């Protein structure tokens, strides 16, 4: 148990260090954007006195490292600042949008994870059959297309031709759960088709790699059915790589929803960051980017930790 706690502490320390470096990259990336932020916000007709006062209000007259340290210190206290577009607290803007993005990601995960694991186990059970080849072709085809293409195909089929589902996924905090699920189904299906191939193929490959193990051969010699051999003997020992790829794809479901949210006009964090870029609302862009980075780092560390816990041999590397 002590080794696991030490390993978790090491991973968390590494994650905080990576997040610190990412925060520097985000701040520098925004600072190095071409053009004058004050002039872009006020327009070219603004006078020098107005520009100078606006730069002072935004603290653009301070050195870059001073502004970074102040920005980082405020974020550590939970203060993301105020939006330049509407003057609202950024934490208020992010709260609802982040909950919508998390809802969409979890909804997609509830569809994608069981479906991917089931298809992967069946593909391993019926390896090199017509079913195995068909599933591989379909999943590889879905992952080969970009998200916006899959989204537009689904809109064309289910919204325009069949009229079964709305093409816009406009939700609000007052939207009932049933209506929210129905409205969010199209973007959830898009994300499912994007991430399903990774999880399915990893499940299939992890199980097939174990089928040549001595204990699997012994189970076959005992006359156990193929389904029992895979589900009772191979699958429990294949959890480490499966868990790893599942959690990493969950991270993608949260941070990779920008394009999908824009296509379906879904009011999530991805749509917010796109709108903020168009409005040159730099504080909101920085806050959203940092939240995306923190989420991705945290889920990657979770995948690493769960993989090691599910396979204790990784605690004792040679």
Which pLDDT score is estimated for 315? 58
Q: Where are the alpha helices (DSSP H) in the chain?
A: 2-31, 37-42, 48-57, 64-76, 90-125, 130-144, 147-154, 177-183, 185-210, 214-221, 226-228, 235-237, 239-255, 258-264, 269-278, 282-310
pLDDT tens-digit series, residues 52-103: 776 676 666 667 778 788 888 888 887 777 777 677 778 888 888 888 888 8
The predicted pLDDT at position 318 comes to: 53
* pLDDT attached to residue 100: 86
Question: pLDDT tens, 215-248?
Answer: 777 777 777 776 777 777 677 676 777 777 777 7
Domain spanning 100-315: CATH superfamily: MetI-like (1.10.3720.10)
Round to whole Å and give the CA distance between 250 and 314. Answer: 23
pLDDT of 214:
76
Q: What is the pLDDT of residue 144?
A: 78
Q: Supply the DSSP symbol for 47.
A: -
Q: Any idea where the domains of the chain sit in the sequence?
A: 2-76, 100-315
Q: Residue 313: what pLDDT?
A: 61
Residue 44, pLDDT score: 64
Which residues does the chain have with pLDDT short of 50?
Answer: none
């Amino acid at each position: 148990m002590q080794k696991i706690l030490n390993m978790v502490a090491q991973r968390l320390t590494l994650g905080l260090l990576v997040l610190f470096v990412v925060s520097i990259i985000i701040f520098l990336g925004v600072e190095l954007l071409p053009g004058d932020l004050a002039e872009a916000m006020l327009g070219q007709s603004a006078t020098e006195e107005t520009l100078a006062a606006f730069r002072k209000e935004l603290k653009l007259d301070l050195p870059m490292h001073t502004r970074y340290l102040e920005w980082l210190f405020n974020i550590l206290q939970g203060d993301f600042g105020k939006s330049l577009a509407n003057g609202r607290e950024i934490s208020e803007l992010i709260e609802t949008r982040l909950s919508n993005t998390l809802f969409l990601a979890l909804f997609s995960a509830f569809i994608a994870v069981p479906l991917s694991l089931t298809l992967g186990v069946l593909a391993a059970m019926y390896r090199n059959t017509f079913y195995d080849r068909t599933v591989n072709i379909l999943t590889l085809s879905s992952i080969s297309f970009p998200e916006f293409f899959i989204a537009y195909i689904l809109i064309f089929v289910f919204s325009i031709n069949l009229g079964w589902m709305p093409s816009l996924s406009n939700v609000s905090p007052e939207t009932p759960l049933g209506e929210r699920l129905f409205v969010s189904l199209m973007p959830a299906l898009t994300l499912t088709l994007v991430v399903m191939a990774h999880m399915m193929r990893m499940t299939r490959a992890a199980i097939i790699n174990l089928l040549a193990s001595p204990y699997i051969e012994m189970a076959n010699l005992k006359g156990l059915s193929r389904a029992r051999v895979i589900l009772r003997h191979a699958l429990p020992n294949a959890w480490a790589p499966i868990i790893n790829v599942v959690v990493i794809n969950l991270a993608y479901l949260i941070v990779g929803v920008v394009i999908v949210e824009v296509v379906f006009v879904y009011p999530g964090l991805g749509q917010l960051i796109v709108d903020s870029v168009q409005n040159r609302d730099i504080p909101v862009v920085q806050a959203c980017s940092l939240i995306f980075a923190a989420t991705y780092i945290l889920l990657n560390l979770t995948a690493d930790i769960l993989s090691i816990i599910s396979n204790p041999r990784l605690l004792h590397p040679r």
